[in-house]
Structure 1
Amino acid sequence: MQEGLPLVRVGTLVATPLNSLVVLADSGIESIAGLKGRRIGFSVSGFEDALLGAMLARYGLSLDDVELINVQFNLTPALLSGQVDAVIGAYRNFELEQLDIEGRPGRAFYPEEEGVPAYDELIYVTRPELVGDPRIRAFLRAVERATHWIVNHPKEGWEIFRSTSRELDTELDRRAWFATLPRFALRPAALDVGRYERFARFLHERGLLKEVPPVEAYAVDVFARR
């Protein structure tokens, strides 16, 4: 929105953060305080800096107390090779499973437990002029039905998912599937205005937003607008 993109949030797919700060379980780093002077890999500057900065601040640290290294999207290889001591931006439903498969379990520090307001990780957006389009409501009703079916029948859902592509039929994808299920939004169209306000204020405080916009300017409950 700040970049001028005409988009509005109309629904949520994943209702919890997936992003996390990860170290190897055998690294000796027991808390975020232990990251002082350490190398931390990241892939997306800006947002991940804001998360990490807030998490460090709870322990009297700042971004100046760590060395940030852009490892692109090679988070797991960078951690396993010793290039970095921790990574920010690791998805708890993917990189943690990947590390475990490699025989090097990880330890995750979760932003929502370390000073960052909880937020929706993955959302559905559309153009403002389409908010009232009945196809949007039909889509979200279908998503809700599908989500409830998947949650009620996780194994059957996995079989359907993996059958769509041979590339998806891997141990990592299987683990990621089951790790993601509890995080799906059971009411994808529902909008928690207070939650969005809190996260917008957080982004403003961390310098990612110039001002805190009203929630109705970028997020709606399409069923409440009927």
Structure 2
Amino acid sequence: MRAKRLTGGVAALLAVTLPLVACGSDDSSSDGEALRKTTVLLDWDPNPDHVALYTAKEAGYFEDAGLDVTFQPPSDPSDPTKLVSTGKIDIGISYEPETIISGSQGLDVVAVGALIPTALLSVMANGDSPVKSVADLAGHTIGTPGLQTNDAFLTTILARNNIDPASVKSVNIGQDLMAAMVAGNVDATLGAYRNIEGVMMTDQGLNPTIIPVTDAGVPDYDELVIIAQASRLKSDPAYQKLIRDFLSGLARGNADVIADPASASKIIAAEADGYDEAQVPKMIDATVPLLKNDKGFGQQDVSDWQAFADWMKSEGLIDKAVTASDVVTNDYLPAGSGS
């Protein structure tokens, strides 16, 4: 559940053996070859944004590609870029802005495909909150998951709307977004998604205020992206094949979700703890249109990434300019997914 904080730490995650390409596995594909074990570190607890990932696994598409895939929730949403950069994790799910920030800091990551190619992040508040607009953030407390992205966006949103940052108290609430809003521990959050927490709060009659960040001064971007270790992609053919095979299986899962949302809802409901089963189909219905990429599955527009990176630099959200082609590539997507 996106609103729940996970237990455990990075140390426990690192204690697990996570080879980039496993050999000698007892698992075998249908043609008798050993499956390559790979761990994918999610950006959050399993939730409807991950529906294509779990649909691909349930359908056996990763096995068809020769992979034994394990999805690992993070102990912190910032873990994927850190652990993929150091090679401790094969593949991660992260965000375009976080990937750009990581690139500006010299982390060894590159986005190899867009999972959700549009922004979902929103300023959100419970209906009982005094926050009904961006202007209302002045004098109130806003909770974030502690990601650099969210903190940076809050800075620019306040500046764009002429709000004194000293009048806003920002607190790191980790993954406890929904609970913090419902309990009134914060007046608003910047980290919730309109297709998940927005659906949950609306369905529960909480009459939420939902302000997409794109309506508050932030340009559109690819919300969720698949990231890999950049240097290893340049030097390791086995890792290149691993990434290609993973994206190939994921593309098939994504197509299944779009074609049959009802079946996909059942799959993700079995994986995402803490959701009302009656709400999951509504979340999937809100998510499916966002999975449709006009450029083809996974395709990322490098020029758009460059424009967004330049915007981040101009807003002071990153200190060092980023060349988009250093942090994003479409080279490993399956043939036919784009021009």
Q: What runs of 5+ residues in structure 1 fail to find an aligned partner?
A: none
Choose which of 131, 136, 140 in structure 1 pairs with 2:243. Answer: 136
Larger relative contact order (Cα-Cα within 8 Å, sequence gap ≥ 6): 1
Distance of 2:321 and 2:191 partners within structure 1:
24
Q: 1:176: which partner in 2?
A: 283
Identify the match of residue 112 of structure 1 among 197, 214, 221. 214
Residue 154 of structure 1, aligned match among 214, 239, 261: 261
- Residue 211 of structure 1 corresponds to 320
Closer, same or farther: CA 72–144 of 1 in aligned 2, 3 Å: closer
Query: Do the aligned partners of residues 171 and 37 (structure 1) sit closer, same or farther apart at CA in structure 2, a change above 3 Å counting?
Result: same
Secondary structure in 2 aligned to 1:210? coil
Relative to structure 1, the CA distance from residue 75 to residue 189 in structure 2 (aligned partners, 3 Å threshold; closer, same or farther) is closer
> Mind listing any 5+ residue stretches in structure 2 that lack a counterpart?
1-102
Distance 1:201 1:28, change over 3 A: same
Which of 14, 21, 24 is the equivalent residue of 2:126?
24
- What letter matches 1:12 in structure 2? A
* Cα gap change, 1:166 to 1:51, in 2 (>3 Å): closer
Taking the aligned partners of 1:204 and 1:6, their CA distance within structure 2 comes to 19
| Partner Cα distance (1:114, 1:169) in 2 | 30
Taking a change above 3 Å as real, the CA distance of residues 162 and 213 of structure 1, as seen in their structure-2 partners, is same
Q: CA deviation at 1:77?
A: 2.0
Q: Secondary structure at the match of 1:213?
A: coil
What's the TM-score once normalised by structure 2's chain length? Answer: 0.59
Greater shift in the superposed pair: 110-119 or 73-82: 73-82
Q: Give RMSD over aligned pairs.
A: 2.7
SS of equivalent residue, structure 1 residue 10: strand
Q: Give the Cα separation in 2 of the matches to 1:37 and 1:163.
A: 41
Q: Aligned in 2, Cα 1:136/1:202: closer, same or farther, shift over 3 Å?
A: same
Alpha-carbon offset, residue 138 of structure 1: 3.9
Give distance in 2, aligned partners of 1:122 and 1:39. 26
2-structure distance, mates of 1:167, 1:57: 36
Aligned-pair identity (%) = 28
Give the alignment's TM-score, normalised by structure 1. 0.84
CA contact (8 A) 2:104 2:322 kept: no
Contact 1:42–1:88 (Cα < 8 Å) also in 2: yes
Residue correspondence of structure 1 range 53-64 to structure 2 within 5 A: 53-64=155-166
Match of 2:170 among 52, 68, 72: 68
Deviation at 1:185, TM superposition (A): 4.7
Is the contact made by 1:50 and 1:206 (CA closer than 8 Å) also made in structure 2? no
The question of 1:145 aligning with 2:249 is answered no
**Aligned partner of residue 136 in structure 1, secondary structure:** helix
The answer as to whether partners of 2:113 and 2:330 remain within 8 angstroms in 1 is yes
Aligned residue for 1:37, secondary structure, equals coil
Tell me whether 82-91 or 44-53 shows the greater mean CA deviation: 44-53
Question: Shift of residue 21 of structure 1?
Answer: 0.4
Q: Cα distance 1:59–1:161, how it changes in 2: closer, same or farther (>3 A)?
A: closer
Contact 2:153–2:218 at 8 Å: present in 1 too? yes
Once the 2 structures are TM-superposed, how far is the Cα of residue 107 of structure 1 from its aligned partner? 1.3
Do the aligned partners of residues 158 and 58 (structure 1) sit closer, same or farther apart at CA in structure 2, a change above 3 Å counting?
same
Q: Measured at CA, do residues 127 and 83 of structure 1 come closer, stay the same or move farther in structure 2, by a change above 3 Å?
A: closer
Letter aligned with residue 217 of structure 1: D
Q: Quote how far apart the aligned CAs of 1:105 are.
A: 2.4
2-side partners of 1:86 and 1:188: how far apart? 34
Structure 1: distance between partners of 2:202 and 2:151: 26
Q: CA deviation at 1:45?
A: 4.8
Distance 1:142 1:63, change over 3 A: same
Residue of structure 2 aligned with 1:9, choices 98, 111, 132: 111
Equivalent position SS for 1:171: coil
* Alignment CA distance shift 1:47-1:137 (3 Å): same
Q: How many residues align?
A: 225
